[in-house]
């Protein structure tokens, strides 16, 4: 008789997903499928709308990192206006983006993944969440809340609102920064910095506690992609899109945003609303690559800020120049949070940041524009085509989690092979399969341009295709 | 006295309303002292439980999964709150409503891909013809507009409900 447990949702991820696990005759894992189950149709329903509405509309793709969509969108709009925005506006947009990196990385680490890391993958599922963290590790929970608050409050100070602000506009930003606000943000930086330092220290001390997880959580070769500057420094607001292979050899550097489509193809999947981008010259599915914190740190030569570079050197000393296991997304994420805070300080200390020239005005001067940035979860691309009046004719959005789709699929397979055994789920193995998805910090709403709820379903199939077990987590 | 049971759900929204819940910052610590969070994106509940006192719903009802879930939730919740414009009016998710579902999917997966060129069918829920505000599907007890509603407004509602009072939202919220 088949037994059924239902995992109605994979929890603590951002979006809707289901997982199927198929077993062979020996009761071992034969294959796995990752289904993303939400779809919203942004690319279609924006047709006919004025291009300058795009930032406000596409921000509603994702409430976790709306600033990423706002920025990719205004950059595509800058290209349609064919303007180079004033340097102070560029600095301010990057500052806003850094604040978002800090809050989003904080959320991923503390609110979503720390319950596994600090309370244990096999701990009581009723307590394995931020509330359990508040009880068992109140200092860590408070740090998480405070770090996220720092990022969100900085966004509010700069842009007027914490979620879906309208400060970033095609051509720049709509209000300069005051000296008081700059000083308020500067005054809070040291607190954020010390929270991240503490967390890095705790995380490094735990590194040896997860040998099986670091060995099997998507530990595989792949290519990597991310933005860098001419010297190979990590970049998050603007830069050259660089691809490296699994050994770290450069495969491509895309300096003109419009050229992205020569290098990135998109595959429709039979079983998921999430498409799978691939590196075009290598074809599908060989051209799988990873983005986000792990990919970025593999692609960059260094961060370019002092303390993050010291941490990066230690990270590479421990794990190698190219870090292959997706378990270390968490580690890379913390180093990037430190980079974000340091970079904010550099930007705030640049006298130009208070300059009042923050917006270029222009009409439609090009019929096509692309904006590329690094969202917290990885490379984000907005590509628009308009008519002479600026009405949208066509849009393509490639979001961070999409790039990781093939890698997430492979990682689920690897974790399932290691931890799933027999024809019934155990809670700890279900949680590990979910946790590998969590390591990527996927934003499935972004990826399908739909943010769903978090449910993830997992199903286990026997060799004859009969369902053996089902869980909802 | 046992603690109140509170749930949050995320249908077809952007999670911004949930982020606004988290933007209560330290007030969250107060909320979890008085209530158990029994279901939602941040906790590992397997199934929407029975006997929930308060459920905050983010997002429109857009596909078969959303529809089944919201009906189950209504049956198991005392006070159902539509949180944010998507749940209250359909907002951005409903911008697709004028376009046939087939055209949306073709744009995404036939035209919009270099490999396979077909919409997914296996293991994904079918879209409803329209993305609907929650009250068009089940009875809603309270609406909190905003895109997203401010954290203060959400905190106020939750605290009032936990204290057994009816929240008075006049002047505290606005659309958009
Ligand atoms: S109301 Fe606004 S913030 Fe809330 S889910 Fe909808 S788009 Fe996001």
Predicted model pTM: 0.91
Mutation to probe ligand 1, out of B66, B83, B86, B145 (largest number of atoms < 8 A from CB): B86
Write the residue in B41, B107, B115 that is nearest to A454 by C-beta: B41
* Cα A160 to ligand 1 centre (Å): 17
Q: Helix, strand or coil for residue A413?
A: helix
Architecture of domain A3-461: Orthogonal Bundle (1.10)
Sequence ranges of the domains in chain A:
3-461
Given an 8 Å threshold on Cβ–Cβ distance, is A43 in contact with B108?
A: yes
Q: Among A147-161, A171-185, A257-271, A416-430, which is the least confidently predicted range?
A: A416-430
For the CA of B16, the closest atom of ligand 1 is 3
* ipTM field: 0.91
Across the A:B interface, residue pairs with CB atoms under 8 Å apart total 216
What is the model's pLDDT at position A467?
A: 64
Residues 6+ away with beta carbon under 8 Å from A187: none
Hey, which residues does A276 pair with through a beta bridge?
Answer: A267
Atom 2 (ligand 1) nearest CA: B147
A2-38 residue pLDDT tens: 333 334 456 666 666 778 887 777 777 887 878 776 6
Ordered structural domains, chain B, with CATH? 4-96+128-162 (3.40.50.700)
Any CB–CB contact under 8 A between B45 and chain A?
A: yes
Separation CA A69–CA A240 (nearest Å) = 19
Considering chain B, what percentage of its residues have pLDDT values greater than 70? 99
Residues of B in contact with A195 (CB under 8 A): none
Residue A39 and residue A48: Cα distance in Å, rounded? 20
B79 pLDDT above the threshold of 80: yes
Asked if B92's CB is within 8 angstroms of A57's CB, the reply is yes
Residue B159, Cβ density class (10 Å: 0-12 exposed, 13-18 middle, ≥19 buried): middle
Partner residue opposite A270 with nearest CB, options B25, B107, B120: B120
- pLDDT (tens digit, 9 = 90+) per residue, B17-36? 999 999 998 898 889 889 99
Which 2-21 residues of chain B touch chain A by CB within 8 A?
A: 9-20
Q: How far is the centre of ligand 1, averaged over its atoms, from the C-alpha of B149 (Å)?
A: 8
Query: In Å, how far are A160, A221, A229, A389, B36 from A166, measured between CA atoms?
Result: 8, 41, 28, 22, 35
- Residues 116-175 on B with a CB inside 8 Å of A are 116-125, 127, 131, 147-148, 151
A141 alpha carbon – ligand 1 mean position (Å): 26
State pLDDT tens for residues A33-59.
Answer: 787 766 778 888 999 999 999 999 999
């Amino acid at each position: 008789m088949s037994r059924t447990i239902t995992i109605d949702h994979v929890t603590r991820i951002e979006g809707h997903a289901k997982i199927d696990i198929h077993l062979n005759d020996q009761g071992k894992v034969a294959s796995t499928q990752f289904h993303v189950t939400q779809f919203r149709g942004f690319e279609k329903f924006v047709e006919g709308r004025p291009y300058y509405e795009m930032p406000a509309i596409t921000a509603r793709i994702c409430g976790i990192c709306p600033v990423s969509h706002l920025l990719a969108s205004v950059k595509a709009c800058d290209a349609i206006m064919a303007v180079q925005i004033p340097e102070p506006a560029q600095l301010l947009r990057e500052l806003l983006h850094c604040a978002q990196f800090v809050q989003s990385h904080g959320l991923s680490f503390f609110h979503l993944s720390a319950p596994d890391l600090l309370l244990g993958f096999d701990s009581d599922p009723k307590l394995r969440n931020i509330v359990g963290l508040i009880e068992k590790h109140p200092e860590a929970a408070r740090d998480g809340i405070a770090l996220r608050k720092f990022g969100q409050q900085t966004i509010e100070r700069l842009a007027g609102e914490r979620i879906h602000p309208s400060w970033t506009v095609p051509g720049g930003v709509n209000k300069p920064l005051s000296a008081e606000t700059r000083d308020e943000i500067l005054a809070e930086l040291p607190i954020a910095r010390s929270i991240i330092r503490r967390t890095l220290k705790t995380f490094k001390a735990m590194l040896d506690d997860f040998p099986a997880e670091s060995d099997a959580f998507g530990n595989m070769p792949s290519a990597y992609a991310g933005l860098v500057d001419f010297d190979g420094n990590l970049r998050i607001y603007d830069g050259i899109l660089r691809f490296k292979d699994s050994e770290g050899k450069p495969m491509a550097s895309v300096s003109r945003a419009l050229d992205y489509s020569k290098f990135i193809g998109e595959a429709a999947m039979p079983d998921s609303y999430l498409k799978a981008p691939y590196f075009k010259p290598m074809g599908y599915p060989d051209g799988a690559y990873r983005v986000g914190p792990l990919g970025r740190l593999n692609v960059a030569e260094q961060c370019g800020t002092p303390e993050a570079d010291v941490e990066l050197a230690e990270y590479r000393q421990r794990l190698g120049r190219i870090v292959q296991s997706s378990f270390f997304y968490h580690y890379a994420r913390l180093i990037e949070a430190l980079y974000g805070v340091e970079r904010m300080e550099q930007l705030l200390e640049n006298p130009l940041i208070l300059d009042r020239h923050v917006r270029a005005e222009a009409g439609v001067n090009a019929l096509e524009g692309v904006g590329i940035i690094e969202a917290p979860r990885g490379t984000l691309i907005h590509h628009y085509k308009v008519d002479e009046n600026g009405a949208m004719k066509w849009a393509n959005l490639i979001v961070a989690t999409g790039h990781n789709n093939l890698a997430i699929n492979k990682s689920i397979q690897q974790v399932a092979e290691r931890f799933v055994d027999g024809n019934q789920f155990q809670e700890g193995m279900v949680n590990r399969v979910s946790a590998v998805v969590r390591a990527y910090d996927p934003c499935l709403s972004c990826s399908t341009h739909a943010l769903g709820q978090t449910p993830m379903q997992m199903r286990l199939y026997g060799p004859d295709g009969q369902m053996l077990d089902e869980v909802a987590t | 006295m046992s603690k109140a049971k509170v749930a949050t759900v995320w249908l077809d929204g952007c999670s911004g309303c949930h982020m606004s819940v988290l933007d209560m910052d330290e007030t969250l610590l107060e909320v979890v002292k008085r209530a158990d969070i029994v279901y939602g994106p941040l906790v590992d509940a397997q199934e929407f439980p029975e006997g929930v006192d308060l459920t905050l719903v983010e997002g429109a009802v857009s596909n078969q999964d959303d529809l089944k879930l919201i009906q189950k939730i209504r049956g198991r919740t005392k006070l159902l709150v539509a949180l944010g414009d998507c749940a209250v009016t359909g907002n951005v998710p409903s911008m697709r409503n004028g376009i046939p579902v087939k055209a949306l999917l073709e744009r995404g997966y036939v035209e919009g891909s270099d490999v396979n060129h077909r919409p997914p069918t296996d293991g994904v829920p079918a879209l409803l013809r329209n993305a609907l505000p929650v009250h068009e599907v089940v009875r809603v007890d309270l609406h909190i507009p905003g895109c997203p509603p401010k954290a203060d407004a959400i905190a106020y509602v939750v605290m009032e409900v936990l204290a057994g009072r009816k929240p008075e939202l006049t002047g505290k919220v606005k659309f958009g």
